[in-house]
Amino acid sequence: MLPFFFGSKKRSLFGSFEPATHRGGAGAALLCGSWGTEYTNAHRAMRVLSKRLCAAGFDTLRFDYFGAGDSGGETIDAELDGWKNDIGTALRELTEMSGTSRIAIIGMRLGATLVVEAAPQLPARVDSVVLWDPILCGTDYLKSLQAPQGDRRETTPVSPMCGPPEVAASQLGGLLVSSSFIDGLRSIDLSSREVRLPSNVLTIFSNNQHRECNIGSASKDSEVAILEAPSPWRDSADQEEGLPVEVFERILKWLR
């Protein structure tokens, strides 16, 4: 595994590149994780998925969005439009490092949603897209970020001294974020419109929200898979269920 920084001085991104364990011409895969606690909880699962892909002949790149993880910036600098651009930057980096023309993108949760919204502007051709439990409704997602105790509201305003109204800070999921970031999450709506991507699309769900999903391919293959598997982004007790091996195997089968 090669940890490194890429992007620009003003927008430095941290990534982990893992080359394929054998050169079978499978291609390369960009992994786009979720955010906040979901990102932390699912870190192990995404790393194991990366290794499974490498064993199948894929070069892989995992990365942190700007203002998240080990990338530059603070959490209050996070913006969804900027994160969509980060996906494009990571895609260019992976294409250059791998040297392959066969690229797949795998997004989990918020990462999957960002991939859908960024797809029309991606800088390179993408053969396959895997959407792993994408967030379909931003309002519902914001509600899910409330404290388990139920005493904390969706967002907790902090001192107005943090900046002008458009960048006023709030606590969300235990992190300090801007009001525009929260507005961006709230505006997510993939359930009320038809979405067609220019790639092969596999969408994986672990519950019945697939009934609200209308994401597919404009001209290629698309499939929705409902799998009873652990959700690695969930907290504490749910983590005891183990890794979602069924999901890993379904992704590998789709990409072969």
pLDDT in tens, 70-127: 999 999 999 999 999 999 999 999 999 999 989 999 999 999 999 999 998 887 789 9
Contact between residue 14 and residue 63 where contact means Cβ atoms under 8 Å apart: yes
Q: Using 50, 70 and 90 to split pLDDT, how confident is the model at 137?
A: very high
pLDDT value at 151 more than 50? no
- Mean pLDDT score of the chain: 87
Q: Are strands 128-132 and 200-205 parallel, antiparallel or unpaired?
A: parallel
What does the domain layout of the chain look like in residue ranges?
2-137+194-255, 138-187
- Whole-number Å distance between alpha carbons of 216 and 210: 12
Q: CB under 8 Å to 152, separation ≥6 — which residues?
A: 146, 171
CATH 3.30.1130.10 correct for 2-137+194-255 = no
- Whole-number Å distance between alpha carbons of 232 and 79: 24
pTM score: 0.89
Higher pLDDT, 155 or 134: 134
Q: Using 50, 70 and 90 to split pLDDT, how confident is the model at 60?
A: very high
pLDDT in tens, 175-187: 999 999 999 999 9
pLDDT value at 154 more than 60? no
pLDDT in tens, 198-252: 889 999 998 766 667 788 887 678 899 999 888 999 875 445 568 899 999 999 9
Give percent of the chain above pLDDT 90. 65
Q: Could you tell me the two tokens for 115? A: 């991939």
- Whole-number Å distance between alpha carbons of 161 and 14: 30
- DSSP letter, residue 137: B
pLDDT value at residue 215: 86
pLDDT value at residue 241: 63
